[in-house]
Amino acid sequence: MDLICQWLSSNLDIIFFIYGLAFVIMGITVLLQPKIETEFKLVHILWLLAAFGITHGINEFLDMWGIIKGRNPVLDVVRWFILTISFILLFEFGRQLFRINCHKYPTWLKNLAKLLVCWIWPLAVISISVFGLLSPDFWTIGSILSRYILGFPGGCLTSAGFVLYLKYEKEKLQPLKVNKYFFQAASLFLVYGVLSGLVVPKGNFFPANWLNTDSFFLRVKIPVQVFRAICAVGSSVAVVGMLGIFRTQLKEQLERDIGEWKQAKEQLKESEQRFETIFEGMTDGILLVDIESKKFYIGNKMICQMLGYSIEEIKNLRVMDIHPKEELPYVLKQFERQAKNMIELAKDIPVKRKDGSIFYSDVNSATITLAGKTYLLGIFRDITERKKMEEQREDLIKELKQNQELLNKQNQELDDARRAIKNVAKDLMVAKQALEQQKGALESINRELDDFTYIVSHDLKEPLRSIDAFSKFVVDDYREKLGEEGFNYLERIRINAGRMQSLIEDLLEISRIERKKYPFVEIKAEELIREVSQRLEYAIKQKNAQLVVADNLPVIFCDRVRLTEVFINLVSNAVKFADKPAPLIEIGCRDKNPFYEFYIKDNGPGIEERYFNKVFEIFQRLGKREDHEGTGAGLTIAKKVVEMHKGRIWLESKVGEGTTFYFTISQRKELIIGRKKIGEMLVEKKLVTEEEVKQALNEQHKMI
């Protein structure tokens, strides 16, 4: 016996190894034990017991290392820290195990359980740390206090918890035959709590100076670590035995699952047989397609008949292979919408058979998952005959509507024709009377205008020519006698006479605009600009100016003579008033439906904004007469010509940068020459011919 005791004392490192290994095995076993959904609440706190076993086992391995290598301060701190952690886990496991069925306890025990609040162990750790730091030997005092405050209560609570759990879960545990393991665990954890929590390293305070590892060895002759190792091995065996409740439940669950699996297998087999019968017997075609690859997985007999392929051939096809190429964008769009469950029914889907013929189908769909993969189930219903009937029906309805509309239109035209004939007859009578009246009035006006023209051109212009001629004779014959002052007076007389003659000419031109009209024709605007360029060629070269004309000018309907005068007037003004060494004049056009907007842009001196409207008034000039020739009537004439073409003229300008004149010409003939006349209405109603109307208009012009 003495030899055994001596051997045990001299081989404590082996004892510590066995001691630690037992607890580590217990912790790992608890962690690795499968824990199914169970009614035992114990399963939710077993991780604390597993963590205690592993950390406490590691602590014993460190104790073994300390024996082999010797103590050092760092190792002591680590040993104390791990020891304290392990006892915290044991204490918390015991506390929760004690309270796990407290709702079933008697009042006194329930009140006791309520005292075991969750903040006890943090308070204990703080106390241990404070007293340990205040002591000269932190490891010894800290270890002793950890064992007293956490280890001993933890072992007792765990022991009491196992007993109470067995008592209040007896009905559930009895059939599992694990009672002895609970009793064994309760007994061994109680003994271990005493041996580990009360038999502590020797200290200089009570009871550590009375009951400690040294005093225990003196009385028993065997190190206390041996008894702790025995408790560790025994408690590990007991805990592993308790885990049998889960193994038993797992076995029962597996047996139930196997039974249910066999039953489900039979039901699946029956379901497959029923499905196959329904699947193959359906009058609609069915295809199952992989959504990602768009490859067909399976199909029924009807779809084989509809497409003309065998089932093996269908399995090698994809969605794109059974639809016309030109319809694929629409088909694939519908496929994607069905795959995303946006729609269930895709109507009027064209389907291509193996022989290349086409039929139409309505495709109902549903997404299903097989073996974790998503497929789209499509049910094809041939609607070719129905579609033909619907198309025939639509064609008949459309034809009936067209016939009805045509009949209504013809009736309306007949009514309109009757009313038009009556109105035309009335209009013709009124027009005839008006023409007779206008004929006399126009003849009188023409005579007056001719007289006025004669007076202006002869009686007014002839004296002016005489004044100019005689002034020239006086200057030529009496230049020396007149002197410089007399010569200047006569020159002023001649200049003003010339200006007066120009004013009379401009007045005559303004009066002719409304009275004398030229025929309106369609002409390219480029031709007008070309004529303007030729007529002003000398003035443009004299000023060293550059005329830039835009491309793609439109064809316009206009009075060619008058509109040419507008361009000449605006371009000549730009040349006349140019003040730059290299004057630039641009001509272009923009389409502003229903008008063409022409512009003449220069880089001249510009015009102040207050004169924008004044320049279009007759005989209004911005500069001095002696600076530039002209009467100031040009823009007035241009404005009247543009308005005659149902347009308008305006300008935009910045002083020092240049001026842009804009004017518009209507794109629509009827806006220029007036609304539809009676003759046009008669031609539209096919009551007279276009030639007859032209002949009548020519006669009317001759009368006017």
What is residue 675's predicted lDDT score, i.e. its pLDDT? Answer: 46
* Joined tokens for residue 630: 């002209």
- Residue 650 belongs to what domain range? 520-673
Mean pLDDT for the stretch of residues 176-184: 83
Q: 613 versus 132: which is more confidently predicted?
A: 613
Q: Which two tokens stand for residue 530?
A: 């070309």
E strand or H helix at 46, and its extent? helix 46-69
Give how far Cα 365 sits from Cα of 96, 316, 321, 380, Å.
Answer: 56, 21, 19, 9
Instruction: Reply yes or no on whether the pLDDT at 65 is more than 60.
Output: yes
What is residue 214's DSSP assignment? H
Q: Per residue in 361-409, pLDDT tens?
A: 989 888 888 877 888 888 888 888 887 888 888 888 888 888 888 888 8
Q: List helix spans (H) across 536-615.
A: 537-542, 560-576
Residue 114 lies in a domain: yes
pLDDT given at position 432: 62
Beta-carbon contacts of 113 under 8 Å, excluding residues fewer than 6 positions away, are: 98, 99, 102, 105
Residues 471, 525, single domain; the answer is no
Amino acid 696: pLDDT: 64
> Smallest Cα–Cα separation from 48: which of 39, 37, 56, 59?
56
Q: Is residue 640 part of a domain?
A: yes
Q: Are residues 316 and 373 in the same domain?
A: yes
Instruction: Please give the pLDDT value at position 142.
Output: 77
pLDDT at 240 > cutoff 70: yes
Gap between the Cα atoms of 408 and 660, Å rounded: 55
Residue 294: CATH number of its domain: 3.30.450.20
| pLDDT single digits (tens) 449-476 | 545 554 555 556 566 666 767 676 676 7
Asked if 37 and 55 sit in the same domain, the reply is yes
**Same domain, yes or no: 158 and 224:** yes
| Residues 125 and 77 placed together within one structural domain of the fold | yes
Number of structural domains found in the chain? 5
Instruction: List, for residues 88-112, the tens digit of each pLDDT value.
Output: 898 999 888 888 888 788 888 888 8
- Look at residue 704 in the predicted model and tell me its pLDDT: 43
Cα–Cα separations (whole angstroms), residue 261 to 34, 249, 567? 21, 18, 100
Tokens of 4: 């055994």
**621 or 527, higher pLDDT:** 527
In a domain, 396, yes or no: no
Rounded average pLDDT over 503-512? 53
Q: What value does the mean pLDDT of the chain take?
A: 79
pLDDT band at 586 (very low <50, low <70, confident <90, very high): very high
121 and 210 in a common domain = yes
Claim to verify: residue 468 and residue 551 sit in the same structural domain = no
Q: Considering the domain boundaries, does residue 403 fall inside one? A: no
What is the percentage of the chain residues whose pLDDT exceeds 70?
74
- Residues 232, 297: one domain? no
Q: Is 477 helix (H, G, I), strand (E, B) or coil?
A: helix
Where is pLDDT greater, at 169 or 687? 169
Banded model confidence at residue 212, pLDDT cuts 50, 70, 90: confident
Residue 703 has pLDDT above 50, yes or no: no
Look at residue 628 and give its three-state secondary structure: coil
Beta-bridged to residue 571, according to DSSP, are: none
Single out the residue of 458, 494, 498 nearest to residue 631, CA to CA: 498
Whether 369 is in a domain gets the answer yes
Residue 693 pLDDT: 62
Percent of the chain beyond pLDDT 90?
A: 10
pLDDT higher at 675 or 669 = 669
Answer whether residue 678 is part of any domain: no
Over range 525-548, report the average pLDDT: 90
- One domain for residues 432 and 305: no
Residue 663 has pLDDT above 90, yes or no: yes
As a whole number, mean pLDDT of residues 160-172 equals 84
Q: Are residues 446 and 558 in the same domain?
A: no
Last residue of a domain, one of 276, 296, 323: 276
* 372 and 494 assigned to the same domain: no
* Average of per-residue pLDDT across 316-331: 90
Helix ranges (H only) for 293-383 are 301-307, 311-315, 328-339
> Is residue 665 included in any domain, yes or no?
yes
Q: Is the pTM of this model over 0.85?
A: no
Q: Specify whether 421 is located in the same domain as 357.
A: no
Task: For residues 384 and 387, give the distance between their C-alpha atoms in angstroms, rounded to a whole number.
Answer: 5
* Domain boundary residue, one of 216, 242, 268: 242
Please write the tens of the pLDDT for every residue from 611-620: 888 888 865 6
Final residue of a structural domain among 254, 276, 298: 276
The answer to whether residues 60 and 86 touch, using CB atoms and an 8 Å cutoff, is no
Q: Is pLDDT larger for residue 496 or for residue 557?
A: 557
Whether the pLDDT of residue 676 is over 70: the answer is no
* From 333-342, 380-389, 398-407, 623-632, the region with the lowest mean pLDDT: 623-632
Residue 395, in any domain of the structure? no
